Amino acid sequence: MRVLDNLEELADLLSCQRTRLFVRFADGPEHDTHEASIDYESDPPLPGLSADRLDPSDWWTRPLLDWLARQVCQYLHLATRSDSHRGWVLTGTMVGRGPDDEPLLSDVEPFAWLGEAAI
């Protein structure tokens, strides 16, 4: 899978896609597509993989790179849960919202890894 080395490459990927893209910090597509996200506070499995959207909200008036930095950093703490957790970009079907109101996705398709410099 392609590695995005900076936020500019992520912005380019976002601008070429017709589908909504998300970012997720976890073990990666090979592992995550066989697992369910869970609510770490109460422990139930969630109906999809938790992710954070990369396209800016309509109310966002600042540059796209500012939005991407914000979204990438939003769940960066999840990368520290395990040495195998990495940031990756994906698309999928939204099937609900998680306990932090994050999108929950099914039918996930991976697009790229986030390189360390992009984080």
With vertex at residue 118, the alpha carbon angle to CA 89 and CA 116, rounded to the nearest 5 degrees, is: 95
Domain ranges of the chain: 2-35+50-118
Q: For residue range 51-88, list pLDDT tens digits in order.
A: 999 999 899 999 999 999 998 887 766 656 656 678 89
Measured between alpha carbons, how far is 22 from 54 in angstroms, rounded to an integer? 5
Written as six digits, the tokens of 62 are: 């600042």
Which residues are CB-contacts of 5 (< 8 A; sequence separation ≥ 6)? 115, 117, 118
Q: For residue range 97-107, list pLDDT tens digits in order.
A: 998 899 999 99
pLDDT of residue 83: 62
**Is-contact 82 13, C-beta < 8 A?**
no
pLDDT of residue 78: 62
pLDDT of residue 29: 86
